[in-house]
Structure 1
Amino acid sequence: RHPDVIEMDAASRTGVDDMREVIEATRFRPMQARTKVFVIDEVHMLSRNAFNALLKTLEEPPPHVKFVFATTEIRKVPITVLSRCQRFDLRRVRIAELVGLFGRIAVKEDVTIEPAALEQIARSADGSVRDGLSMLDQAIAQAEGAITTAQVVDMLGLADREAVFELMDAVMGGKPVAALAITDRAYERGADLGALLQDLLELLHTVTRLKSVPALRDSHELPEAERTRGAEFADRLSVPVLARAWQMLLKGVGEVEIAPDRRAAAEMVLIRLCHVSDMPTPGDLIRRLTSGGTPGAPGPAAPPGGGGGGARAVANGAPMISAEPVVQAGPRLGTFRDVVAWVGEQKEAMLHAHLLHSVHLVRFAPPVIELRPQAEAPRDLSSKLSALLSDATGTRWTIAVSRDAGETTIAEQGSAADTARKTAAADHPLVRAIMAAFPGARIDTVHDKTADAYGLPASVPDVPDMPDFAPPDAEYFDEEPMEIDL
């Protein structure tokens, strides 16, 4: 109400003309105070031209003028403006401090309010004094006499804190009947089940913090209920179980927001959480499988609180009596030819073709491959091959481009090997006899059952120069199976 304090909402007045009014008002001296203060709220909403119009005044402000800019999006404020301001980052006020503040206000207003109700208001304020005061004022206006926790919960449309602890106990204990009964009572009171899941998510985070930082159990930053009952959950549940529940609940909160029926979506989320409560974690399941045990039976490798397992540890619900260790082998990439063949299996036709015909191998030292691509090879060949290998193996691969000559292409190596096989076959006594018996006959193809898909010997490593590859002698054809098409 002070005549020398001028407030402007930048969310509704964003143009240059609005800034010109402010600049014009800075020329006049204050009427009562020593300083004229301009408060611009949500300053990040100003347009670029409005900021530019205000910049000159910020560089050389009159001695009797002070600007106060308030924003929740500091990154949207131009750096030219930030460099001419003093910045004060306001932190969220702790729940304990808000409870003390609201308690003192209630005493001055001669209002009786339960401590749990004060904690509920402070928690819902989310660190904002202004929002908390608005809720307290609303609770005072609605209450007739003392303000109880139930009245505050009904006013804010929240679930009772005790109900959240009971829901946590039911969900982590695999009790869907009890969990749905709690949601039914909360729904009858008018509570939003989406907010109930949010409260459960917050409690799950608190329990995980108590599990990771045991010193918090003696800290006064948390309310008494979180320190006592939350510590019980922390002792009973393992971190993998808490992390799995967090991921499922986090996804479930998003499902509730987009679902046509929020109650049905929330109940489905809670049923899923109850269903997986006694399932072993993936790490526990792997340890049991590799040790030859039954996934549903508890074993010495099971961490405390990791769940007891059971028949539901199997996807279809059938009990598993015994299981062999399952090892999912990755691609075998012992040679560059293995890499090229694997790329072909991934249905990367263009990349596979270029690796066959347009690339010369310089050095193969996994996870580093040096190549000399030809002019027709695409520029992004290295990046595509690196990304494909890294995703498949979980290891970062480096595909370097070299100017060294390197080997011939795999297609050229296969062609040279095929020529060598034809030459060796033509020198075989049996083949020569056939050629003499059938004048005009020629060797069309030679099928080597020991060769790979590129016509190269599978047991022979990549050779630097295939034209110098020595053809096998006649004994080779006597020992190894080979077919010759004439």
Structure 2
Amino acid sequence: MADNFVVSARKYRPVTFDTVVGQSHITTTLKNAIRTNHLAQAFLFCGPRGVGKTTNARILAKTINCQSLTEDVEPCGVCESCVAFQNNASFNVHELDAASNNSVDDIRNLIDQVRYPPQTGKYKIYIIDEVHMLSSAAFNAFLKTLEEPPSYAIFILATTEKHKILPTILSRCQIFDFNRIQPRDIADHIEQIAKKEGIKTEREALELIAQKADGGLRDALSMFDLNVTFSTDNTVRYKEVLENLHILDYDYYFRLTDALLTGNLSETLLTFNEVLKKGFDGHLFVIGMLEHFRNLLVSKDAATVQLLEVSETAKNKYLDQSTRASLSFLLSALSIGGQCDINYKASKQQRLHVELCLMKMAKLTEVLDLEALAADEKKKPNVGAGPGGVPLASAQKGNNGSSPNALANPVNRTDANPASSSSLPTTAEPTITYQNAPNGKGLPLGKLRSTVNLSTSITDTPAPTQVSKPVEVALDALPEKDLPVTMEALKEVWAEFSRMREQNGGAVSEQIMLNRDFIFENMTIELVLDNLHQETLLNEIKPTLLGYLRRKLQNRQIQLSHQIAQSDGKRNPYTPQEKFNVLAERNPALFDLQRLLGLEVDF
């Protein structure tokens, strides 16, 4: 009768520190502690699953009781203690599974055993696996013994969830953090086992298993056994591993990236459809795509190529494709893909969600090329340009004797084809338009200024990514000699300005500020304002108001000043009716508005 099959994880479990895979920082420390006799009485081994916590605990228990250690501080394997341990007959090593023995009574029974010294050997070792499963009461019952154990007792605790252990337990232990095992170390270890078993392997297949294991050697060995069982000729092949472990081949991502770099949207969507037909989840596809872009990103710099955890064949492919993918493309694609990953679960149409992400990526190269072209255009000097990008020949009087009045609003151009003329057409009189002021209020400029919209380039081929801001060009200069100004003329022009502001959507508070009496002495207009809000409004329109008054009255000496009225101690209006009365006193038109529309004050 044939022997029962033993899985590789048990059959090739390390029995010495030197055979432990990928945890040299821990094995070296433990060996030095044994050599110098600096052993702690409580150890805590923590880390992910399948990285060697329990294995190292058993090797440590076996080594410290070995009666004839080797020069490398390894158990001899032939002494009475080592033989008893290997046959599971040692009375000095006790293992407790805290997942199924987590009550206070279980810990009390363990404490009772601690009272008795070892009959043979130097130490009694207690290995408690999955210690985070102990109840709070069990932890508390264990505290005193853990803090002051007998000299012959050593506790080795192992857990995958260190954060669940009480701080009082952690403070009493010497903590060892186990790392995830590197894929290359896992692949090398499996390759050695395959040689001992007489199994042929492809290196890419072993590296694929190592990557899928995510740092856990036990998981990797389980997957290796699965693929050996699947094979009919004792050969582990890459294609078969892909099928058995349901892994998405990186060749799909190389094809996808080539299609994205060339802007081939059809090929991109067909590749994604092929992946879905293979039975892969769309979210898994997105995660793998992000990892692919990350690998391309680290491949662009020789200093970061070492971060690639892939086979040599795949590494060469990454290095080749990274030379064709720009840094901007990869960063933008990672950003778009990251958002797709975040919002995937919440999407009602998950396939369409991924396809939209791929569509955006397919247009990235085109967008980046346009941005680069626009940046190059900005760097070119704009020869012969005046303020705001207006050509000097159009903004100033040129050799042909044309005046600034030659500029007109492009809305009135008779030739709609920008390629048919290289300059703006001229008209006898400018077209008056109104430009919104920076404060968002409509501002009538009359004959003082005219807005010229230069959003259409004056060159034969307009740049699609650059839109010039509207430029205000002065049409008439102020007179060389100032004319006298009368109070009547000033009031008339002031009222005209107020009406134009009102017609162009001026705020009510602005009209209240403008429709008040003022003092005019020595070419200075003095306003008395009610509050700081009115002062802010006046400061916003002051340059425009002064310009309008000086132009209309033909006098450059006109100035404008203001002051805020002193409070007379009267009570501020409180109720809605009081507020309405105060406003209506300042602007009687409110009474007319209330009467015509039949409005009532809202209480």
TM-score range, shorter chain: 0.5 to 0.7
Cα gap change, 1:453/1:56 in structure 2, threshold over 3 Å: closer, same or farther?
Answer: same
CA distance in 1, matches of 2:145, 2:297: 51
Cα contact 1:289–1:323 (8 A) shared by 2: no
After superposition, the C-alpha distances for 1:127-170 in whole angstroms (9 at most, x for unaligned) are 21111111111111222222221211112111112222222322
Q: Which has the larger radius of gyration?
A: 2
Q: Is 1:161 matched with 2:304? A: no
5+ residue gaps, structure 2, are 1-86, 382-461, 471-512, 522-526, 541-557, 566-585, 588-603
CA distance in 1, matches of 2:99, 2:359: 44
Question: Is the partner of 1:453 in helix, strand or coil?
Answer: helix
CA distance in 1, matches of 2:108, 2:320: 62
Structure 2 partner of 1:117: 205
Cα gap change, 1:49/1:228 in structure 2, threshold over 3 Å: closer, same or farther?
Answer: same
| Equivalent residues in 2 for 1:364-375, closer than 5 Å | none
Of residues 243, 251, 263 in structure 1, which corresponds to 2:339? 251
Question: Is the partner of 2:210 in helix, strand or coil?
Answer: helix
5+ residue gaps, structure 1, are 294-318, 328-417, 429-445, 461-477
CA distance in 1, matches of 2:96, 2:325: 52
Q: Is 1:23 matched with 2:105? A: no
Amino acid at match of 1:250: G
Deviates more, 1:257-266 or 1:155-164: 257-266
Amino acid at match of 1:154: E
Cα contact 1:241–1:281 (8 A) shared by 2: no
Question: Is the partner of 1:279 in helix, strand or coil?
Answer: helix
Question: Is the partner of 1:144 in helix, strand or coil?
Answer: coil
Cα contact 1:164–1:200 (8 A) shared by 2: yes
Aligned-residue CA RMSD in angstroms?
4.3
Cα contact 2:347–2:353 (8 A) shared by 1: yes
Question: Is the partner of 1:159 in helix, strand or coil?
Answer: coil
Q: Is 1:321 matched with 2:464? A: yes
CA distance in 2, matches of 1:187, 1:43: 42
Cα contact 1:39–1:67 (8 A) shared by 2: yes
Cα contact 1:10–1:42 (8 A) shared by 2: yes
**TM-score normalised per structure 2:** 0.47
Of residues 453, 468, 473 in structure 1, which corresponds to 2:533? 453
Amino acid at match of 1:453: H
Q: Is 1:107 matched with 2:195? A: yes
Structure 1 partner of 2:237: 148
CA distance in 1, matches of 2:311, 2:168: 44
| Equivalent residues in 2 for 1:41-120, closer than 5 Å | 41-120=129-208
Cα gap change, 1:216/1:48 in structure 2, threshold over 3 Å: closer, same or farther?
Answer: same
Of residues 204, 221, 227 in structure 2, which corresponds to 1:133? 221
Question: Is the partner of 2:466 in helix, strand or coil?
Answer: coil
Q: Is 1:187 matched with 2:276? A: yes
Cα gap change, 1:201/1:53 in structure 2, threshold over 3 Å: closer, same or farther?
Answer: same
After superposition, the C-alpha distances for 1:41-92 in whole angstroms (9 at most, x for unaligned) are 3333444433222111111123343222223333443333222222222122
Count matched residues.
Answer: 334
After superposition, the C-alpha distances for 1:451-471 in whole angstroms (9 at most, x for unaligned) are 8515479669xxxxxxxxxxx
Structure 2 partner of 1:311: none
Q: Is 1:205 matched with 2:286? A: no
**TM-score normalised per structure 1:** 0.57
CA distance in 2, matches of 1:194, 1:220: 22
Cα gap change, 1:86/1:322 in structure 2, threshold over 3 Å: closer, same or farther?
Answer: closer
Higher relative contact order (CA 8 A, sep 6+): 2
Question: Is the partner of 1:127 in helix, strand or coil?
Answer: coil
After superposition, the C-alpha distances for 1:405-457 in whole angstroms (9 at most, x for unaligned) are xxxxxxxxxxxxx9xx99x96x99xxxxxxxxxxxxxxxxx7659x8515479
Cα contact 1:154–1:190 (8 A) shared by 2: no
Question: Is the partner of 2:138 in helix, strand or coil?
Answer: helix
Shift of 1:120: 0.7
CA distance in 2, matches of 1:64, 1:7: 16
Question: Is the partner of 1:91 in helix, strand or coil?
Answer: coil
Deviates more, 1:182-191 or 1:243-252: 182-191
Question: Is the partner of 1:249 in helix, strand or coil?
Answer: helix
Shift of 1:326: 8.0
Amino acid at match of 1:196: F
After superposition, the C-alpha distances for 1:101-142 in whole angstroms (9 at most, x for unaligned) are 111111112222222111110111112111111111111122
Question: Is the partner of 2:276 in helix, strand or coil?
Answer: helix
